[in-house]
Structure 1
Amino acid sequence: MDFGRLMTAMVTPFDAGLNIDFQKVDALVEHLIATGTTTIVVAGTTGESPTLSHDEKLALFQHVVEKVAGRVKVVAGTGSNNTADSVQFSQEAEALGVDGLLLVAPYYNKPSQEGLYQHFKTIAESVKIPCILYNIPGRTSINVEASTQLRLAQIPNIVATKESSGDFSQIIDILSGAPEGFYVYSGDDFLTLPMMSIGAYGIVSVAAHVVGEEMTAMINAFVEGNLAEAVRLNIELTPVFKGLFLTTNPTLVKAALSTQGIEVGGVRLPLVAADESLIEEVKKRLKKVKDKA
């Protein structure tokens, strides 16, 4: 399955009491579709998955699937560090009609590479829909090595990987050994163009919440062979890419959405609101990009 080149890891909108606000979810989904998102990832890290309950996640999956109504793909974040729980959760998400699953590497318990392989294999083989690996050593404390990802790529419904290792040697090894139809996505906005230049297919983005049209233009320019334009746009966008991570994600992207009239509320503890100075810095960087558009 082709999830497109601009997947967005959607924030989870909250009301004043920090409960999920489904009206705000509707508005955000429409905004993402209108600005170029090809797949919405629900309940990933950017969606504050660690502080969403099991039932809240299922309600989100169902709601977004119904709201999207086939216009773009919907991927559910169902991975965890408990294989049995991930299997059950993935099956529940599949039953709700999601198009695919995002499976993060097991965090905290630090399995071996064989343990990682068996974990992902077990989950993928418990469902029929496509699965995307998610390697983010900075958050999980474990790296899913290229050799392990390539073993997993042989499983028919493991169709892609979201690579957030930042290790270009590893990424090249994956790209050079991957079977046809296995896609590598950047997990970092600022590495979108560099990774596409060595063969990655696209990005699972945070910044697309606020610069989706500009990112679409950059990706299209690269795909169409207009490298100079892609480089120009990447240079313009990089301050925004980096600005959104001046403090823990998704604090600043939620604040940035608010400045564009898309209200998504605050963040749940243990995350806290960003300092006003950081919000102003992001607003300044966004304005510079929008003024050039």
Structure 2
Amino acid sequence: MESMNQMLQGQEIESALQRLQDLRSETAKLFIGQQELVTGVICGILSGGHVLIEGVPGLGKTLLAKSLATALGCQFNRIQFTPDLMPADITGTHIYHTEKQKFLFYKGPVFTNMLLADEINRAPAKTHSALLEIMQERSVTLDGKQYGVDEPFFVIATQNPIESEGTYGLPEAQLDRFMLKLNVEYPQKEEEIGVYRMHLSGGEPDPQKLRPVLDAAGILSLRQVADRVFVSDSILHYVHRLIDGTRKRRDLAVACSPRAALAVLRASRVRALMKGRGYVLPDDIKEMAPAAFRHRLRLQPEAYLEGIRPDDIIADLLSVTEVPEKDFGA
């Protein structure tokens, strides 16, 4: 407990909580409802990870990314992924400058803070591999030279689950680089009617009209605060029991790696901060586990045929795994 108090003071928590509430409130002016989705994206961004959002067209995935980018006060670029997209289209390339008589590097759209990779599964593997380096290394290597991207840098990628024609499955290595995978559900009745009202009264929502409540320095500052949220040994053991549980299941061909455990722990720190706490509870782990695990699990063929989904397995694990009852740092 003493170590937790030294790491994160109450005043710091209150200040961070206020900034997080301002961020959510500003985003909600355009992106109505879907609170779990908004929470997940913010947790991914503020824990230094990338986020993959999956949902059918028309649910506002792109609007959410644009709204958050404006509210975060960071640089934003969007890439519409297509089958003919080449690596140079996202990283940039060297072009010969006749007046200077030398090749100059022209930066691609990845040199930004927030990169929206729209319909990422429509690009070929070569383009995926180029993006993979940037996501992992935070840099681009061309002709033996390395070009770093500025921090904060994070990717929000979207994909449509209902179409397979003209799409390329993401490599497992790239899927694993996404800290969280979030599913977009249909909105609740009142939320959807609110969307109707907003469009009918004001036309197409314009994210540029939102007020920036943070900037690049503010995002990095919140990350530093989140990094100091206390995680007890009992929580670490709880996460290991969940991870180990995936490795003992016969309906899984690929279970969770240590990277999945680190993802849920990092995201849970931000989730705790969003609730005004300087320590992680088991409930934080339970809330973030589906997003951290679902894209890292591979089911056995017979499990697919039976209609089992990764979320079903995660829900079962959460229900049967022993939950610690004390020693969280409160």
Same fold (TM over 0.5): no
Q: Which is higher, the Rg of structure 1 or of structure 2?
A: 2
TM-score, normalization: structure 1? Answer: 0.34
